[in-house]
């Protein structure tokens, strides 16, 4: 088991380049399965989730070429054998493998996968996906181990879908399926997150007629003969938030490059209310040394453009350094407070009211401790806590962190942190 050893008390300073977004990369790679033509992806992050997904592609007959130095991946899915998915254990390793269902079902008429794995951050029901496929005329079979789909028709049974919630992966999955079928459908209460929009724009570029991108309503007219192309993965806004908070809590000065500011306005608003000093520039963000951080009454997560749930745990660490009492209201997932129990081991003063609400009291002097990563973002939060803790912090289960943070230890060390990775 790999661990991180963090020596606290180091001020971060310097410059960092933000890589492509994990949450955009995975669905966009899956969308390439809709066409026999070559798809070239630029700015692909070097993270374990991408490596696992590309291994799955190879096992089902897809040609994959990857240049890590140039961050380029080439996908050519002339031939796909969906039968090989039935024995592909890699599907159990990450949640994003559910995104194989839409494109492969549209392309091959059937698809069977193991139930996907991923972070244990709370209930992420597959019902949005399965319900959507059923409404459109797909035959769905599933149990605790596998999901099996079949669609042997030329047209959809229904032309309208109403999601019960604005599901990100549900929107991506159903949109990819609809993109590869020559029919027209309307989707109500679709997700509008920036990485969802990136996937939808890719589908549009491939030859699908999509109206309503960026809203909670989509009208999709599919095409069986989709084309390939060159696609750039947008920068990762969650990484921007992570490094911004790392700079703020260590009272450092950072320049964060390759930033799409429009997806971060709710995050910037929270930083402003807390008192973090920062400057928004063209395609980059400056974090300036901040002397005084103030608690805020409430931070509430929400679907875009609200405050992103993926930054909730990182902000939780920041709130331990704010004077006064702050409350976090996590509206989306019921297991996202696991990191708070780890923060308490480091001396944080926290009152967990229920699965969705917690109070954090500051300013608290954190001390080094042995803590663990319960999920991707919780793990990153513990690393940030270690940066400001007295003494040494050991973070275990760091494989979670490597799923979404490219060269996390190297990048932080380049900014002045003192972190070692080793195996127990």
DSSP of 133-193, one letter per residue? Answer: HHHHT-EEEE-SSEEEEE---SS-S-SEEE-SS--HHHHHHHHHHHHTSSSEEEEES----
Residue 120: pLDDT band (50, 70, 90) is low
Instruction: Supply the mean pLDDT for the chain.
Output: 93
Query: 350: helix, coil or strand?
Result: strand
**Residue 178 and residue 363: Cα distance in Å, rounded?**
51
Indicate the pLDDT class of residue 230, thresholds 50, 70 and 90.
very high
Residue that has been written with the tokens 């700015």 in this structure: 43
Q: Of 119, 236, 310, 375, which one is the catalytic site residue?
A: 119
Residue 267 gets which letter from DSSP? H
pLDDT band for position 124 (cuts 50, 70, 90) = very low
User: CATH for 2-19+235-423, among 3.40.50.1100, 3.65.10.10, 3.40.1710.10, 3.40.109.10?
Assistant: 3.65.10.10
With 0-12 CB in 10 A as exposed, 13-18 as middle and 19+ as buried, what is 287? Answer: buried
Q: How buried is 325 (Cβ within 10 angstroms: 0-12 exposed, 13-18 middle, 19+ buried)?
A: middle
pLDDT digits over 138-163, tens only? 999 888 788 899 998 989 999 999 99
Q: How confident is the model at residue 232 (pLDDT cuts 50, 70, 90)?
A: very high
Is 119 catalytic? The answer is: yes
- Name the more confident of 120 and 192: 192
Tokens 């549900």, residue located: 170
Please give the structure tokens belonging to residue 288: 């300036």
How far apart, in Å, are the Cα atoms of 82 and each of 18, 59, 106? 35, 10, 12
Q: What is the pLDDT of residue 94?
A: 76
Distance between CA atoms of residues 118 and 183, nearest Å: 33
- Measured CA to CA, the distance from residue 210 to residue 222 in angstroms comes to 8
Q: Are 397 and 331 in contact (CB under 8 A)?
A: no
- Residue 378: band (very low, low, confident or very high) from pLDDT cuts 50, 70, 90: very high
Collapse the DSSP code of 326 into the 3-class scheme (helix H, G, I; strand E, B; otherwise coil) and give the result: strand
Dihedral (C-alpha) 17, 20, 23, 24: value to the nearest 10 degrees? Answer: 150
Choose among 56, 14, 20: nearest CA to 41: 20
Nearest-10 Cα torsion for 400, 12, 249, 278: -110
What was the pLDDT predicted at 114? 82
More confident residue, 334 or 195: 195
pLDDT in tens, 341-370: 999 999 999 999 999 999 999 899 999 999
Average pLDDT over residues 70-80: 96
Give the pTM: 0.94
Q: What is the CATH number of domain 22-232?
A: 3.65.10.10
- Kindly state the average pLDDT of the residues 86-108: 85
Peptide bond into 363 cis (omega under 30): yes
The predicted pLDDT at position 118 comes to: 52
22-232 shares the fold of 2-19+235-423: yes
pLDDT at residue number 117? 63
Sheet of strand 160-162: strand arrangement: 160-162, 184-188, 217-221, 209-211
Contact (Cβ atoms closer than 8 angstroms) between residue 14 and residue 254: yes
Show me where the domains of the chain are located. 2-19+235-423, 22-232
Q: Would you say 418 and 388 are in contact if contact means Cβ atoms under 8 Å apart?
A: no
The confidence score (pLDDT) of residue 115 equals 81
């Amino acid at each position: 088991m790999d661990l991180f050893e963090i020596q606290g008390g180091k001020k971060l300073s310097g410059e960092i380049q933000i890589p492509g977004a994990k949450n955009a990369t995975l669905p966009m790679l899956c969308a390439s399965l809709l066409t026999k033509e070559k798809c070239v992806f630029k700015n692909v992050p070097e993270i374990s989730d991408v490596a696992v997904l590309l291994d799955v592609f190879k096992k089902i007959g897809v040609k994959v070429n990857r240049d890590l130095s140039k961050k380029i991946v080439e996908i050519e899915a002339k031939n796909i054998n969906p039968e090989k998915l039935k024995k592909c254990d890699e599907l159990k390793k990450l949640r994003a493998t559910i995104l194989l269902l839409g494109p492969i079902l549209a392309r091959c008429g059937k698809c069977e996968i193991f139930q996907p794995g991923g972070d244990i951050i709370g209930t992420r029901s597959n019902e949005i996906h399965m319900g959507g496929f059923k409404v459109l005329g797909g035959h769905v079979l599933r149990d605790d181990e596998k999901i099996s789909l079949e669609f042997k028709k030329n047209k959809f049974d229904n032309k309208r879908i109403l999601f019960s919630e604005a599901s990100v992966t549900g929107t991506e999955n159903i949109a990819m399926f609809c993109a590869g079928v020559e029919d027209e459908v309307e989707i109500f209460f679709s997700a509008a997150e920036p990485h969802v929009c990136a996937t939808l724009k890719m589908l549009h570029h491939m030859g699908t007629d999509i109206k309503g991108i960026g809203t909670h309503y989509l009208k999709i007219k599919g095409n069986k003969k989709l084309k390939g192309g060159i696609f750039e993965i947008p920068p990762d806004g969650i990484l921007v938030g992570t490094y911004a908070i790392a700079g703020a809590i260590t009272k450092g000065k950072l320049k964060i490059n390759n930033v799409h500011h429009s997806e971060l306005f709710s995050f910037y608003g929270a930083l402003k209310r807390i008192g973090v000093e920062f400057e928004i520039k063209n395609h980059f963000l400056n974090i300036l040394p901040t002397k005084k951080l103030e608690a805020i009454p409430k931070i509430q997560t929400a679907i875009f453009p609200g405050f992103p749930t993926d930054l909730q745990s990182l902000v939780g660490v920041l709130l331990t350094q704010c004077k006064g009492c702050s409350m976090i209201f996590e509206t989306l997932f019921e297991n996202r407070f696991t990191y708070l129990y780890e923060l308490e081991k480091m001396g944080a003063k926290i009152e967990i009211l229920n699965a969705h609400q917690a109070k954090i009291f500051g300013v608290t002097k954190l001390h080094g401790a042995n803590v663990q990563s319960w999920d991707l973002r919780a793990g990153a939060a513990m690393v940030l806590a270690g940066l400001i803790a007295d003494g040494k912090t050991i973070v275990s289960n760091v494989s979670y962190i490597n799923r979404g943070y490219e060269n996390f230890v190297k990048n932080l060390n380049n900014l002045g942190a003192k972190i070692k990775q080793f195996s127990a």
